[in-house]
Structure 1
Amino acid sequence: MINGAFGAGKTTIANRLVNEIENSMIYDPEEIGYMLRNVIPIDIKRTESVTGDFQDLDLWKEITVDMGKKLITKYNINLIVPMTIRKIEYFHYIYNGFKSIDEQTYPFCLNASKETIYERLRLRGEEEGNWCYQQTDKCLEAFNQSDFGEYIDTERKSIDEIIQDLKGKLKHL
């Protein structure tokens, strides 16, 4: 599991890790969220997700874990799971669900300063002030207040350095 604010480097790191870790694939729970956003009726979305965040939909957590189990069972594959989860109860639900499927489930949280995250968001073409930007403070605060796994500093580090750091931590777990 690779957690972090939007712009922390999750997707970049996940895309590199899939080439570094044998028998692995990227499994992005955002895809589950997009699907639910498209199929759940508006009145249910208004009740369960008043914030507009698909993670607040009850089914999102459940389907995320269930699909992970199906992927691991069907393909006997290692999942690399990039996602931004700032609500600790959602993190625990998904982490414990994955851990019950595969004991070798390791949560990492990529960290960077607000300024670095904003710069990365700008560089990837995000419109300043959009939803990703609006989540930055909430994510950074949540990551400082709760334990979201093994933290990896991405500030002023190359992708190669971050990958080596992450792989080093995996060897020691």
Structure 2
Amino acid sequence: MLAEELSRRLPEAVLFDPEYVGYLLRHWVPAPTGDFQDLPSWRELVIATALSLRKHHAGTLIAPMTLINDNYLAEILDGLRVGGEEVLHVFLDLDPAVLRQRITDRVLVPNDPERDQQGRDFCLRNLDRGIAAAARVPPGTLLLRSDKLTPDELADEVLTRLQGLSG
């Protein structure tokens, strides 16, 4: 919801969801662990796609993605920075019970109940890892409580931080 609100407020921005890179890769390469983030190709392609989108299409790129593996997060953030990008990393933290309920209530694949449930199950299996990641965010990360702020308020916080970076 934050990404959509930022996209609404920044109409010139491109909303790039790295999960779609993973969905594409699934057609060619199985992820042995079941998580496409474990594929080196996914991480490389996310960086390359983000850099290409910025170069050719976007002054601002919004990329909603949960990266709970510290090494993968560092690899992607470092790759973007080496590519000349200034990155504002935002981590949305919340109460575990609220997160569990949001995952349970969410519809990921509306026309395919089986895949929809598989997606929810995957998220629930990784819930504890995601909660623990909040304690390990890299320096400079904007850490926000999404159970305490509305999407509008979250967007205000992100835009305020962005203004500070460019100002």
TM-score, normalised via structure 1 length: 0.80
* Contact 2:47 2:80 (C-alpha < 8 Å) held by counterparts: yes
Instruction: Give the AA of the match of 1:17.
Output: L
Instruction: Give the AA of the match of 1:166.
Output: V
2:18 aligned partner = 29
Counterpart selection for 1:164 from 151, 156, 165 = 156
* Contact 1:61 1:94 (C-alpha < 8 Å) held by counterparts: yes
Counterpart selection for 2:104 from 122, 132, 139 = 122
* Contact 2:14 2:58 (C-alpha < 8 Å) held by counterparts: no
Shift of 1:102: 4.0
Structure 1 runs not aligned, ≥5 long: 1-11
**Matched-pair identity in %:** 25
Distance (Å, rounded) in 2 between the aligned partners of 1:96 and 1:72: 16
Instruction: Give the AA of the match of 1:16.
Output: E
Distance (Å, rounded) in 1 between the aligned partners of 2:85 and 2:17: 20
2:127 aligned partner = 136
Query: Secondary structure, in 3 states, of the residue corresponding to 1:130?
Result: helix
**Offset from partner CA, 1:65-107 (integer Å, 9 cap, x none):** 1111111122243110000111111111111122233432111
Residue 150 in structure 1 maps to residue 142 in structure 2? yes
Structure 2 runs not aligned, ≥5 long: 108-115
Which is worse superposed, 85-94 or 128-137? 128-137
TM-score, normalised via structure 2 length: 0.83
2:110 aligned partner = none
Count residues in correspondence.
Answer: 155
Instruction: Give the AA of the match of 2:40.
Output: D
Which is worse superposed, 66-75 or 116-125? 116-125
1:8 aligned partner = none
Instruction: Give the AA of the match of 2:78.
Output: N
Residue 91 in structure 1 maps to residue 73 in structure 2? yes
Distance (Å, rounded) in 2 between the aligned partners of 1:147 and 1:75: 28
Q: Structure 1 residue runs of 4+, over 4 Å off?
A: 126-129
Residue 69 in structure 1 maps to residue 84 in structure 2? no
The CA RMSD over aligned residues, in Å, is 2.0
